[in-house]
Amino acid sequence: MSGFAWAAFAQGLGPSAAAALAVMLLAFAVALRTGVHRGVDVAWGIAFTAVAVVGYAMSAGEGDNGRRLLVTVLTAVWGLRLAAHIARRGRGHGEDPRYEALLAKAPGRRTLYALRMVHLLQGALVWLISLPVQAAQYVTGPVGVIGWAGCALWLTGFLFEAVGDGQLARFKADPANRGRVMDRGLWGWTRHPNYFGDFCVWWGLFMVVCDERAVAAAVVVSPLVMSYLLISGSGKALLERHMADRPGFAEYVARTSGFLLRPPKRR
Domain boundaries, the chain: 6-255
Q: Is the dihedral of CA 13, 23, 164, 255 positive or negative?
A: positive
Write down the pLDDT at residue 14.
Answer: 98
State the pLDDT at residue 1. 46
Do the beta carbons of residue 66 and residue 47 sit within 8 Å? no
Beta bridge partners of 139: 4
CA dist 134 and 12 (Å) reads: 8
What pTM was computed for the model?
A: 0.94
Distance CA 39, CA 103 (A): 15
Q: Which residues of the chain have pLDDT under 50?
A: 1
Alpha-carbon distance values, 48 to 17, 54, 193 (Å): 10, 10, 21
* Confidence at residue 238, expressed as pLDDT on a 0 to 100 scale: 86
Are 190 and 258 in contact by the 8 Å Cβ rule? The answer is yes
Residue 243 is predicted with a pLDDT of 86
The predicted structure's pLDDT at residue 2? 60
The rounded distance, in Å, linking the Cα atoms of 84 and 42 is 7
